[in-house]
Structure 1
């Protein structure tokens, strides 16, 4: 698998548009496309092998708000789509998977309702990615608004023996800032967990991608990239497949 397959473009949806937030701040929004479906299609045409779709309205409000757009994305592209944002119940997860989404990212629910989370994992084995959003070294939930007492590794260890697909580790302080990913934090997580880890947050250049790619041997599967793609700092089509 080359660098092109390692990158997972992010399509973040807010108020029906494709956007990026700066450091997880719902007020610091940049709109990159009026139509998230055509944005998703564009990344596929440029050579992306999978997509990371986030319902930001859902993340802040506690239930998916842009399900029709997600359905259209899944119908329009032929590459796998993983989805997160507001998945806080079994029913919400079931509905999203019925759209054809391949994997779901769950963070807050895993922390708040272990019983419901276990029901989801046993019903949909290897479909769940546990979202670990870290802010100042602690896991944050509810759209990054509330910090827990857990470190990323302590949090991940609670789920590492379950039949999940893996983990998505986001350093929220770096997200959308293009200041470089948290290499040490990502490596530390991956080498201490059984399941694969997807990195996210801070990527600003091809060099950043290469540094994360070098962590594959520790269990880093890929990296979600948003702003650096939208602003042309990284061109998927120029990367080796």
Structure 2
């Protein structure tokens, strides 16, 4: 399993939100590139970038910061989500050096986009499913649908998505621990690598995810910024379990 630090971008700054509320943001840095360098120094094997403004606007807003990070660390896998609603945006990010584009809201509203993207950019597409009480949330979590996240995941299982980032938005940014049960339900629903997100806030959360033996990765944000979780120690624990 890999532990993936999140860099959430809002107005060019690195922030963390509570339950996706744009008005409830904590600014951790005004230098995204320096933040990325910090996590690289701490042993990050991948970076998870989110264009928060883009998620609400429906198109990239913090693209310059994303591009700068991808170019600064050409050998480090980078995944980006937020505001990716068409093939052109995916192509631009991949051309800039990003490894994976995460399709979130558009996957719910336009499932054919995922199919087309997987054909056009094979191996470079991740679906981001955000859920509350098991139901899919969209538009930067501003709307909750009546669609079960596991049912939607099944639609994309055969499309060729590289993985699914599953976020429990009730836990995100709340430091309440990861929703193991819901994450495992997702892992059992599809034969696609699952990356857990939302509430990953302690080494115990990492241990619990490792104990399942079924989760590919874990995204963490607020916990590593507030020193509640040590990224290097968490990744070392994962590496030790492999041996």
- Residue 215 of structure 1 deviates from its aligned partner by 2.2
TM-score of the superposed pair, with normalisation by structure 2 = 0.94
TM-score of the superposed pair, with normalisation by structure 1 = 0.94
Q: Output the CA distance in 2 between the equivalents of 1:114 and 1:49.
A: 30
Q: Note the residue ranges of structure 1 that are not aligned, 5 or more in a row.
A: none
Correspondence list, 1:196-207, <5 A: 196-207=193-204
1:73 aligns with 2:69: yes
Confirm or deny: 8 A CA contact 1:213 1:222 kept in the other structure: no
| Secondary structure of 1:148 counterpart | strand
Q: Output the CA distance in 1 between the equivalents of 2:212 and 2:33.
A: 32
1:72 to 1:185, Cα distance in 2 relative to 1, 3 A: same
Q: Select the residue among 143, 152, 155 that pairs with 1:155.
A: 152
1:60 aligns with 2:56: yes
- Residue 75 of structure 1 deviates from its aligned partner by 1.5
- Residue 114 of structure 1 deviates from its aligned partner by 2.7
| Secondary structure of 2:157 counterpart | coil
Correspondence list, 1:76-95, <5 A: 76-77=72-73, 78-95=75-92
1:238 aligns with 2:229: no
Alignment correspondent of 1:48: 44
Confirm or deny: 8 A CA contact 1:90 1:117 kept in the other structure: no
Please give the per-residue CA displacement for 1:63-110, whole angstroms capped at 9, x wherever unaligned: 011111111101122311011000001111111111111011111111
Alignment correspondent of 2:10: 14
1:228 aligns with 2:202: no
Q: Note the residue ranges of structure 2 that are not aligned, 5 or more in a row.
A: none
Alignment correspondent of 1:100: 97
